[in-house]
Amino acid sequence: MEPIEWAWQNDITIYPVPIPKSNGRRLPDCHIEVDYRGKKIKGQMIYKQNNELYNKIKELYKYYFDKR
């Protein structure tokens, strides 16, 4: 089973949250937020919407998958 599929089945979602008034009108900078079974945890790091952001999200899904 893939880490993302496993996480969704276990009520864990990880997604970007745009930062209002940040650089880039079409693609604002983002924080990553983890919704872990209803408890929301907002990350401190700021990411541009590029491969770095989406690779980090994949890395976090893998972290929770490996932690199970």
Q: Give the model confidence (pLDDT) of 20-63 as tens digits.
A: 877 666 889 999 999 999 999 999 999 999 999 999 999 999 99
Residue carrying structure tokens 């209002």 = 20
For residue 62, give both structure tokens: 């893998």
- The structural domains of the chain, with segments of one domain joined by +, span 3-67
pLDDT at 20: 84
User: Can you give the pTM of this predicted structure?
Assistant: 0.87
pLDDT at 24: 62
pLDDT at 23: 66
Q: What is the mean pLDDT of residues 4-16?
A: 97
Bridge partners, 14 (sequence order): 34
Neighbours of 61 (CB within 10 A): 21
Query: Biggest alpha carbon distance in the chain?
Result: 39
